[in-house]
Structure 1
Amino acid sequence: MQLNIFDASILIVDDQAANVLLLEQLLSEAGYTNLSMTMNPLDVCALHQQHAYDLILLDIQMPGMDGFQVMEGLKAEQKDSYLPVIVLTAQPMHKLKALQAGAKDFISKPFDLVEVKTRIHNMLEVRLLYKKLAEYNQQLEETVNKRTAELRDSENRFRRLTELASDWSWEQDTEGHFINMPDNLLNALGISRPNDPHQADNLDGWNENDRAKFNAILASRQPFVDFTFCRTNERGQAQHFRISGEPVLDANGQFVGYRGLGTDYKVLISVAS
């Protein structure tokens, strides 16, 4: 942390050459290595936009543009909400106004050398911690976005393989709606949505006895293996399926639906023969 602080970039802004030289000498002797100076307040915003200083030591009373106007310009150009400014002032009434304007601290004139070094050191500690947090948040966001993209890609590949294979997966929520299933599979199984969203999905074309047995199994919330059923599609052709499933519970043991696997039963018959 010490090396990071002494490598921090600092801009000294004061229209009095003696004050600039005094602060430069004091900070250099304290070990700070990345110092910049200007006596023209009109240059501050452009300099900060170019160099993104870790700290700006800003005099309040300057001709042409005072410190308050400089801070307004800095806030308009800031990419983040943190304004790294310590104001330099001999006027007690300016201290509170400067803090209200966005300055993080103040140093009184004439300078107390111990106060100057202490306030600058403390300010830079906070500033560098703020930057580390911002970098960490950015890295975290990039990692989350990357993992999300990978998961979506993996899910898309899995869905595509499911669509191409004779075996497929199925899921159902607590309302009896089939979820996370491609439309072509829903159509093949004769599953359609009812007008009432609180009712379970329709099982169109299913044999009535098979449909009643399937609903009874789901109502029991018990696992089942190799349940076979038949449905008649829109062309009047009989379709035969075999499915297995199990109830899904959340971390608190609450029922949240069913999931399982299924296959076109006619495919199994043709392979076996």
Structure 2
Amino acid sequence: MIHYSEILNASILIVDDQASNVSLFEQLLSDAGYSNIASTMDPSSVCELHRKNRYDLILLDLQMPVMDGFQVMEGLKTNVEDAYLPVLVITAQPGHKLRALQVGAKDFISKPFDLVEVKTRIHNLLEVRLLYKKLESYSKILEAKVEERTAELRESEARYRSLTELASDWYWEQDEQMNFTKVSGPVLEMLGIRVDALASDVEESVEEGWNEEERKKLQDTINARQPFLDFVFSRAHPDGSAQKFQVSGEPMFDRHCRFIGYRGIGVELTSK
């Protein structure tokens, strides 16, 4: 929301080759409470003035010698720092209104002036301009925060991967259907899954003998998209040997908060 005082303090540039028109608008704006008013009768100076001052509104006469208002607007478009062209054109030619809007003007004032209409159009355009600037500022802040957070996540992931190399037998990632997409270490062999299942469409083949209660508890945690730490599960083989594994994992989400899978580390605790 824009406070009324912000609108009255907005920066305005009056561009007209007629001194009487400049004086009229200066008096009109001053009487309405605007306090940050500048003017020029030289249209060739407008682009440079705007680059220095980033005006919130430019009142621009279209019919001027040497350089008309249309040429001024074309010049203003070259200012890459300002994607929003804050121009309110002044014209006595009905045919110029549409052309001015097509070139980039945000609104127009017709001669002869209706002072109530002029003040209303100026107020409305300034409100839109200030809202646009707030949105632009917020977008830059948000973009900086996203970049900062992304850098933090990359650093965290690098530390995490380094830790897994030192503290685990294996590291894995799975997609949203829980298919293995990345494996470091003998996790597939240890879990009794054919290694070629990772790189082909062949259905995974898993040995029997898992503790179903443990597997169900782990699966419930995964279905709830919850992280798990040092979860222990076991498997008994037909020859009487047994294995125990300790695993930790966390769900992964994309920037739209959509679940995209799991990643984790694990170690084999016993093998006999």
Please indicate the TM-score interval, normalised by the length of the shorter structure.
Answer: 0.7 to 0.9
CA contact 1:13–1:38 (8 Å) conserved in 2: yes
- The 5 A counterparts of 1:5-20 are 5-20=7-22
Q: Secondary structure at the match of 2:64?
A: coil
1:214-252 per-position Cα deviation (integer Å, ceiling 9, x unaligned)? 7x889xx7456433699xxxxxxxxx97425699999xx
Give the C-alpha shift of residue 76 in structure 1. 2.2
CA contact 1:175–1:198 (8 Å) conserved in 2: no
What's the TM-score once normalised by structure 1's chain length? Answer: 0.73
| RMSD between superposed Cα atoms in Å | 3.9
Distance 2:114 2:201 in 1: 74
Distance 1:94 1:142 in 2: 42
Match of 1:212 among 182, 207, 211: 207
- The 5 A counterparts of 1:108-257 are 108-166=110-168, 170-173=172-175, 174=177, 176-179=179-182, 181=183, 183=184, 185=185, 196-199=199-202, 212-213=207-208, 222-223=216-217, 225-227=232-234, 242-244=244-246
Change (3 A) 1:99 1:172: closer
1:112 partner letter: D
Give the C-alpha shift of residue 175 in structure 1. 6.5
Give the C-alpha shift of residue 44 in structure 1. 0.8
CA contact 1:194–1:200 (8 Å) conserved in 2: yes
Change (3 A) 1:45 1:178: closer
Structure 1 equivalent of residue 224 of structure 2: none
Q: Secondary structure at the match of 2:13?
A: strand
1:43-99 per-position Cα deviation (integer Å, ceiling 9, x unaligned)? 111111111111000000001111011111111224343210000111111112111
Q: Secondary structure at the match of 1:243?
A: strand
Structure 2 equivalent of residue 265 of structure 1: 269
Change (3 A) 1:227 1:258: farther
CA contact 1:68–1:101 (8 Å) conserved in 2: yes
Distance 1:119 1:33 in 2: 17
Give the C-alpha shift of residue 111 in structure 1. 2.3
Change (3 A) 1:258 1:141: closer
Distance 1:243 1:144 in 2: 37
How many residues get paired?
243
Q: Secondary structure at the match of 1:87?
A: strand
Structure 2 equivalent of residue 50 of structure 1: 52
Unpaired segments ≥5 residues, structure 2:
219-231, 253-258
Q: Secondary structure at the match of 1:77?
A: coil
Structure 2 equivalent of residue 100 of structure 1: 102
1:19-66 per-position Cα deviation (integer Å, ceiling 9, x unaligned)? 111111111121111111110111111111111111000000001111
Change (3 A) 1:101 1:52: same
Give the C-alpha shift of residue 7 in structure 1. 1.1
Distance 1:9 1:195 in 2: 63
**Taking every aligned residue pair, what percent have the same amino acid on both sides?**
55
Distance 2:16 2:153 in 1: 55
Q: Secondary structure at the match of 1:265?
A: strand
CA contact 1:169–1:261 (8 Å) conserved in 2: yes
Distance 1:256 1:12 in 2: 55
CA contact 1:41–1:66 (8 Å) conserved in 2: yes
Q: Secondary structure at the match of 1:262?
A: strand
Q: Secondary structure at the match of 1:212?
A: coil
CA contact 2:246–2:268 (8 Å) conserved in 1: no
2:234 partner letter: F
1:140-163 per-position Cα deviation (integer Å, ceiling 9, x unaligned)? 222222222222222222222222
